[in-house]
Structure 1
């Protein structure tokens, strides 16, 4: 097993650890959870970089890396709803887009077509991660100047989620014409 795949598996392992800290009411548990989330988010960038740099892109990585990302982000968003930090409709939009694009990719893959990540998809992921971190950290340090950075980033991530989803569907509509 190569290093990139080990990083992906490590990220999947971090998801339940993240959840344990996030949903427990022990001192500093949410801060620890935020740190774990940040480490997991860094491994997301790192595993792809390592795989490309070492020319070790594998089918396992192509499948598991996006799955690990979806597990991490979805678990964080669902937990934030449970904690009363964000509205459920936001999470429904984000997860619906993820299901839709995953299905699109699966249908394309069955036809031998690879749907590469677009700039919109990457921007969506980055803004989601920033928004989640800001919410986990209770909008630190922006809360001190009464600036809702966390919610602004969440709104931007929702907007980019919709735009990227529509973009993927439009540029890959030929996949559904069979």
Structure 2
């Protein structure tokens, strides 16, 4: 499929919508309109789930979508961590660890891609679990502000501590997988 035509594929349109949601989500958080922020975050999550389903159902898997979808996901999550830290809803150390992990992976992937050394950047199971925990933690931060549930505070705090441990561990696992692939040895467990 020609590159420009890939932009019109339904899954890619949903991914682009997710990218367009980000500035409005930031505005809602900065203005302390947490119900609106929660609605936009849920809409972004639904669009993320639907774009993958549509790509399979409509046979519209595209090269653009393979790159655009993870970029949209990381941009959404990383931006939320930074904005939540700015408004004092997220501890700085968690944001620094998450952002450092993502930035490190992005830099390594870019260098390997640019040099042609490695083109396979599938996330590991541990990386997917880390991302899932980040999504649940961000959702718990918003839910706590919208619904003022006291019991969610302990869950949120536990999730943030777990993420603080998982982020560097998943970065180390990613580095290990890349080194093994570069040496021509496929890791046994991804």
Q: Normalising TM by the smaller chain, what interval?
A: 0.7 to 0.9
Aligned length: 175
Once the two structures are TM-superposed, the CA of residue 115 in structure 1 deviates from its matched residue by: 1.7
Which of the numbers 21, 31, 55 marks the counterpart of 1:24? 31
The residue that corresponds to 1:114 in the other structure is 120
Offset of 1:140 from its aligned partner?
7.0
Q: Does 1:133 align with 2:139?
A: yes
Determine the structure 1 residue equivalent to 2:178: 172
Is 1:44 equivalent to 2:48 in the alignment?
A: yes
Residue from 5, 14, 19 that aligns with 1:7: 14
Q: Please state how far the C-alpha of 1:155 moved relative to its aligned partner.
A: 1.7
Query: Could you tell me whether the CA contact under 8 Å between 2:144 and 2:152 is conserved in 1?
Result: no
For 1:5 and 1:131, the matched residues in 2 are separated by 26
Confirm or deny: 8 A CA contact 2:137 2:160 kept in the other structure. yes
* Structure 1 stretch displaced more, 81-90 or 138-147: 138-147
Contact 1:139 1:150 in 2 (8 A): no
4+ residue stretches of structure 1 with deviation over 6 A?
A: 139-142
Give the alignment's Cα RMSD to 1 decimal.
2.3
The answer for unaligned runs of 5 or more in structure 1 is none
Matches within 5 A, 1:36-75: 36-75=40-79
| Structure 2 stretches lacking a partner, 5+ long | 1-7, 184-190
